[in-house]
Amino acid sequence: MAAHAAAALQELCHALQLLAAGAKVTALDVSAPRLDRLEENLTRCGMHAETVVADALDWAPEAPFDAILLDAPCSATGTIRRHPDLTFVKGASGIKELVALQAALLDRALGWLKPGGRLVYATCSLLPEEGEAQITAALTRHPGLKITPITAPGLDPDWLTDSGCLRLRPDFWSERGGLDGFFVAVLQQGG
């Protein structure tokens, strides 16, 4: 039986990867046009996911999920090598609000997990307050929550934090043109 996973999606690839892995996917996003585009692409690929247009802070699932991918809204500082104008467009003024929103979304999504369920928290940010600090705070707020260290064949150990989260930086793979900056943590509820 396939796991039931929820994805707060910002990109089509997340849904496609989950579906290709055999998951039953519920895609939640506050943007109807973004989910319309997702449904068009899924249809083109011969795939189906339940789509829900709602604010994750207000919505509640009918049943808990085995796994959740929270692609959290962030500053996008990890894309600065491809978008050098980002610092002029965004500025630093909204970081506190983004961090508060990420924490609220993380708390909300953790409440949707089955006991023993896993949540993948991801941002395309280089800022520790949107990554490592966010996870440290969540661990404090949620007794029984733990980090599951990320492992994968060929994963460079330099890309992992001391706690086993993935931290990519633009200077990694510089000989290949570099990488975007990302932070990824896998969290598991006690169960």
| Nearest residue to 187 via CA among 129, 116, 123 | 116
What separation, in Å, do the N-terminal and C-terminal C-alpha atoms of the chain show? 20
Q: What is the pTM of this model?
A: 0.88
Give the 3-state secondary structure of residue 9: coil
CA 63 to each of CA 51, 111, 112, 116, 124: distance values in angstroms, whole numbers, following the listed order: 15, 11, 8, 15, 29
CB neighbourhood size of 66 (10 A): 17
The residue with tokens 């997340």 is 14
Q: State yes or no: pLDDT of 9 exceeds 70.
A: no
Q: What is the pLDDT of residues 27-68, one digit of tens each?
A: 998 989 988 988 998 999 999 999 999 999 999 999 999 999
d(CA 7, CA 9): 5
Q: Which residues does residue 99 pair with via DSSP β-bridges, in sequence order? A: none
| Nearest residue to 145 via CA among 116, 112, 120 | 116
The distance between the two most distant Cα atoms of the chain, rounded to a whole number of Å, is 48
146-147 and 113-123: which strand pairing?
A: unpaired
Q: Which residues does residue 4 pair with via DSSP β-bridges, in sequence order? A: 24
CB neighbourhood size of 162 (10 A): 7
- Report the run of H or E that residue 131 belongs to, with start and end: none
Single-letter residue type at 159: W
Lowest mean pLDDT among 12-21, 65-74, 145-154: 12-21
The reply to whether 13 belongs to the active site is: no
Tell me what the pLDDT averaged over the chain comes to: 86
User: Which of 13, 45, 74, 124 is flagged as catalytic?
Assistant: 124
CB neighbourhood size of 59 (10 A): 14
Q: State yes or no: pLDDT of 10 exceeds 70.
A: no
CB neighbourhood size of 164 (10 A): 13
